[in-house]
Amino acid sequence: MATYSPRLSRLIEALRRLPGVGPKSAQRMAFHLLDRDRDGAAFLTTTLAEALTGIERCPSCRMFREDQQCRYCGDTRVATGQLCVVEAPADLLAIENAAGYRGRYFVLMGKLSPLDGIGPAELGLETLARLLADGSVRELIIAINPSVEGEATAWYLAELARSQNVAVTRIAHGVPMGGELEYVDGGTLARAISGRLPV
C-alpha cells in the first residue's frame, strides 16, 4: 500500500468525506488540485470557508439560507396554507424548479431510521409539530421518497398532521412521463394502479 506525506494523506481523507468519493477518486482529485489546478484549489478553499461561515439552516423550514429572511418562508408562502415536507435540500429545489408549487417547505434532512439512530428529534419533528399547531398550515404535502424508511416517515408525518386537524396529501408516485409499462418495476406499477385518478 502506498504511503503519502502527512498533508497529502489529510487532503485525501478530507476529499473522501464527500458522498460517492472512494480512495482512488479522492487520490485523483488531490493530485489534480495539487498538480494542475492550484488556482482552483485556492478558489475551492475560499468558497468553502465562506459557505461554512455564511450559510446556516433556517430555524423554521430547515433549508440552508444566507440571509436572515429565508426565501422559502415569506408571507406569501405562508398565505397558501400549504407545507411540503421533503427529505433533503435537493428535493426542495427539484420541486421548486419543476412543479409550480409556491407554498412553504420543511426539510427533514433524512428519514426515520431507528437502526441508524435517526428518530423524530434528528429530523426536527418538534419544530414541525409547532408549525402544524400554530394554525397557519391547512395542508401538509408529503414528498418523501418511496422506500421502507420513507413509508414509515410518511406515516409518522401523516399522524402528526392529523393530530392537529391538518389535511394530509402525498405526491403521486408511478409511471414516469415517457416510460414504457413493460420496463417499469412491479412496485412502481402497483402504486400507479392503486393511485389512479379520474380522467
Please give the model's pTM, rounded to 2 decimal places.
0.80
Q: How far is CA 136 from CA 82, 139, 166, in A?
A: 8, 9, 10
Q: φ and ψ at 139, to 5 degrees?
A: -140, 125
pLDDT at 189 over 80: no
> How is residue 51 written as a grid cell?
459557505
pLDDT at 1 over 60: no
Question: Are residues 106 and 123 in contact, defined by beta-carbon separation less than 8 angstroms?
Answer: no
Three-state DSSP class for residue 168: strand
Residue 186's Cβ-count burial label (10 Å; 0-12, 13-18, 19+) is exposed
Residues 84-94 have a mean pLDDT of 93
CATH number of 72-170: 3.40.1360.10
Q: What whole-number distance in Å separates Cα of residue 160 and Cα of residue 27?
A: 46
Q: Which of 155, 160, 185 is nearest to 170 (CA)?
A: 155
Q: Name every residue whose Cβ is closer than 8 Å to that of residue 123 and which is 6 or more positions away in sequence.
A: 108, 109, 110, 111, 112, 153
Q: In which element (H, E) is residue 105 found?
A: strand 104-107
One-letter amino acid of 168: V
Strand-strand pairing, 167-170 and 104-107: unpaired
Predicted confidence (pLDDT) per residue in 94-152, tens digit: 888 887 889 999 999 999 998 888 989 999 999 999 999 999 999 999 999 888 898 89
CATH number of 6-54: 1.10.8.420
Residues of the chain with CATH 1.10.8.420: 6-54
Residues of the chain with CATH 3.40.1360.10: 72-170
Q: Which of 96, 108, 155, 158 is nearest to 132 (CA)?
A: 158
Looking at the chain, the whole-number percentage of residues with pLDDT higher than 90 is 68
